[in-house]
């Protein structure tokens, strides 16, 4: 293994003007500085995806996401600083998809001087614009930790350069292409060629079965690959949407309402589509109204309508079509007025994936004491969230603090409500992430693969997946925050000492964004 030398990375890059040098220890090979990747987020935890690719031709970022502060080991200034690079030095950003943990710090990057292009698919650009506009009046937990300045958003969006899937482009001697990642609509893997090496930044990868999205693209060679590890090395997950439909029908038939907490981006649209299909099959009664009462979610529905060509084959997604089948896109006051005027059962798709925000606490408060009602949990819940507390057995015996409007005081008060409604979990089947088993199969289909870096998973999950990859004979690492890995020709080797090491403590459950 070549020896490493410690130096200031930015100063080194500025001095890198020699062409034709061929020594390896200092970082040159075949006339070019060896490209290297520094991990600036999503290391041994799930949020803050941001990877710095340093090349002979300049510095590039792959994703620039917010950290979720639920993980106590994340520094308090994680969403307000870039400790590992100067934003002014970044020549371009490649975005894999529009989840806030992949785009949330881009406005801050702009504010701190970044002015290069932001390459992504056209759908990701429009979803990012919607997510930033939603963040202004956030009713969504996904956006809570994002750093957004509304003044800079329009200027930032002007920097976005949409690139079609599969089209090869060149920018500043960097050749790149986006291929399908199958995670949410518009999601892509960034495939980058530079200095004779090929990198694949997979971003978040979709499952092998999803209601809406296509399968992730199968690559067959790369020198350096990043993969996610949300589910660690776990195997296949069962999906039984018909059973889900039957359980919903049971609640409806006994006269109860159904509450489905769902993040506004992708989970909401997947639920709208699945419920529509189950109505078509006669599993859920067709006449039951499905209420999407978040204007934020409706913005995302609109983008999904626009890019319907990106859905998997035979999927027709048009919320206007679903309207005919009972989908009601209402605002908050109209939603509650509708229920008051129409006492029949309804299905609410709430805008808050963990029940903490938007209409979700009020819906829960109104539904909690009636045992005919039900909450179907379709995603991971932080133990600190309202959804997490609802899942604890203690909520049945002690009740939960929920908001209740006091007409005398004309204000909302927190009151302990008895939890009599039914609560059920439908987690992994609705996830938009690949299982570990699926990622292992994806890697095993490569004809040639160099180092595989495992990111975007809690520490035990990163290590489990990385361990399995090593067991397959793959050079794999679960990098820590600030670690730099050089991409030597044909295979890659860990190089420099960390600039900042962060010891993240494990969290028990995977994220499910
Ligand atoms: Zn994602």
Query: Cα of 218 to ligand 1 centre, how many Å?
Result: 19
Query: Cα of 277 to ligand 1 centre, how many Å?
Result: 24
Query: Cα of 455 to ligand 1 centre, how many Å?
Result: 12
Query: Cα of 53 to ligand 1 centre, how many Å?
Result: 20
Residues contacting 407, CB < 8 A, separation 6+: none
Beta-carbon count within 10 A of 362 CB: 18
Query: Cα of 121 to ligand 1 centre, how many Å?
Result: 15
Domains of the chain and CATH, by start: 9-235+431-494 (3.60.15.10), 241-430 (3.40.50.10890)
Query: Cα of 204 to ligand 1 centre, how many Å?
Result: 5
Rounded alpha-carbon distances, angstroms, from residue 161 to 54, 117, 121, 122, 130: 21, 6, 8, 8, 16
Nearest to 96 by CA among 432, 466, 502, 471: 432
DSSP letter at 46 equals S
Tens of pLDDT, residue by residue over 460-487, are 999 999 999 999 999 999 999 999 998 8
pLDDT at 144: 44
Query: Cα of 232 to ligand 1 centre, how many Å?
Result: 15
Backbone angles phi, psi at 183, to 5 degrees: -90, -60
Mean pLDDT of the chain: 84
Query: Cα of 191 to ligand 1 centre, how many Å?
Result: 18
Query: Cα of 330 to ligand 1 centre, how many Å?
Result: 27
Query: Cα of 188 to ligand 1 centre, how many Å?
Result: 11
Query: Cα of 511 to ligand 1 centre, how many Å?
Result: 10
Coil, strand or helix at 38: strand
Tens of pLDDT, residue by residue over 86-143, are 999 999 999 999 999 999 999 999 999 999 999 999 999 999 999 998 876 444 444 4
Q: 401 has which bridge partners?
A: 416
Query: Cα of 75 to ligand 1 centre, how many Å?
Result: 21
Strand-pair category, 475-477 with 160-162: unpaired
Query: Cα of 513 to ligand 1 centre, how many Å?
Result: 6
3-state SS of 114-173 is: CCCCEEECHHHHHHHHHHHHHHHCCCCHHHCCCCCCHHHHHHHHHCEEECCCCCCEEECC
Query: Cα of 435 to ligand 1 centre, how many Å?
Result: 14
pLDDT at 149: 59
Query: Cα of 336 to ligand 1 centre, how many Å?
Result: 31
Query: Cα of 184 to ligand 1 centre, how many Å?
Result: 7
139 in Cβ contact with 357 (< 8 Å): yes
pLDDT at 71: 67
H/E segment holding residue 303: helix 295-306
Query: Cα of 102 to ligand 1 centre, how many Å?
Result: 7
Query: Cα of 203 to ligand 1 centre, how many Å?
Result: 8
Q: How far apart are CA 345 and CA 339, in angstroms?
A: 8
Query: Cα of 97 to ligand 1 centre, how many Å?
Result: 7
Query: Cα of 99 to ligand 1 centre, how many Å?
Result: 5
pLDDT in tens, the chain (513 residues): 332 222 233 332 332 222 223 334 344 444 468 899 999 999 988 899 999 999 999 999 999 999 987 666 777 788 889 999 999 999 999 999 999 999 999 999 999 999 999 999 999 999 999 999 887 644 444 444 444 556 778 899 999 999 999 999 999 989 999 999 999 999 999 999 998 889 999 999 999 889 999 999 999 999 999 999 988 988 766 678 999 999 999 999 999 999 999 999 999 999 999 999 999 999 999 999 999 999 999 999 999 999 999 999 888 888 888 888 889 999 888 988 898 898 899 999 988 889 988 889 999 999 999 999 999 999 888 888 899 999 998 888 888 888 888 888 888 889 899 999 999 998 677 889 999 999 999 999 999 999 999 999 989 999 999 999 999 999 999 999 999 998 875 544 443 323 323 333 322 233 333
Backbone angles phi, psi at 463, to 5 degrees: -70, -35
b/e map of 47-60 (b: 16 or more CB within 10 Å)?
A: bbbbbbbbbbbbbb
């Amino acid at each position: 293994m070549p020896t490493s030398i410690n130096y200031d990375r930015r100063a080194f890059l500025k001095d890198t003007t020699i062409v034709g040098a061929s020594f390896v220890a200092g970082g040159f090979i075949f006339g070019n500085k060896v490209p290297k990747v520094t991990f600036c987020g999503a290391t041994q935890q799930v949020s803050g995806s941001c990877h710095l690719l340093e090349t002979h031709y300049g510095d590039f970022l792959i994703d620039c996401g917010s950290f979720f502060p639920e993980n106590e080991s994340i520094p308090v200034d994680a969403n307000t600083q870039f400790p590992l690079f100067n934003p002014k030095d970044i020549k371009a950003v490649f975005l894999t998809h529009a989840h806030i943990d992949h785009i949330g710090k881009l406005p801050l990057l702009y504010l701190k001087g970044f002015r290069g292009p932001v390459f992504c698919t056209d759908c990701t650009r429009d979803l990012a614009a919607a997510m930033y506009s939603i963040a202004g009046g956030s009713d969504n937990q996904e956006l809570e930790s994002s750093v957004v300045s509304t003044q800079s958003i329009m200027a930032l969006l002007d920097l976005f350069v949409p690139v079609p899937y599969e089209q090869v482009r060149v920018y500043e001697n960097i050749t790149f292409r986006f291929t399908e990642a199958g995670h949410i609509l518009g999601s892509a893997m960034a495939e980058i060629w530079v200095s004779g090496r090929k990198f694949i930044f997979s971003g978040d990868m979709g499952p092998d079965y999803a209601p809406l999205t296509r399968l992730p693209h199968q690559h067959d060679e790369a020198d350096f690959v990043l993969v996610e590890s949300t589910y660690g090395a776990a195997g296949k997950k069962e999906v039984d949407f018909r059973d889900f439909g039957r359980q919903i029908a049971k609640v409806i038939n006994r006269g109860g309402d159904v509450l489905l907490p769902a993040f506004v981006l992708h989970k909401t649209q997947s639920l709208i589509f699945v419920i529509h299909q189950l109505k078509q099959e006669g599993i859920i009664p067709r006449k039951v109204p499905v209420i999407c009462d978040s204007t934020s979610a409706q913005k995302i529905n609109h983008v999904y309508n626009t890019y319907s060509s990106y859905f998997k084959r035979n999927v027709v997604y048009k919320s206007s079509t679903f309207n005919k089948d009972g989908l009601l896109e209402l605002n908050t006051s109209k939603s509650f007025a509708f229920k008051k005027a129409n006492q029949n059962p309804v299905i609410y798709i709430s805008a808050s994936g963990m029940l903490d925000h938007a209409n979700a606490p009020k819906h829960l408060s109104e539904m909690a004491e009636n045992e005919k009602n039900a909450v179907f949990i379709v995603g991971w819940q932080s133990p600190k969230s309202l959804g997490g507390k609802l899942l604890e057995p203690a909520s049945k015996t002690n009740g939960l603090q929920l908001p209740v409007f006091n007409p005398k005081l004309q204000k909302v008060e927190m009151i302990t409500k008895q939890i009599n409604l039914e609560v059920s979990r439908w987690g992994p089947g609705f996830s938009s992430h690949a299982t570990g088993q699926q990622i292992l199969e994806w890697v095993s289909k490569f004809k040639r693969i160099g180092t595989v870096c495992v990111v975007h998973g809690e520490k035990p999950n990163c290590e489990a997946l990385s361990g399995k990859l090593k067991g397959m004979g793959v050079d794999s690492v679960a990098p820590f925050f600030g670690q730099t890995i050089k991409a030597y020709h044909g295979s890659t080797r860990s190089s420099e000492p960390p600039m900042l090491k962060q010891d993240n403590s494990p969290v028990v459950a995977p994220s499910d964004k």
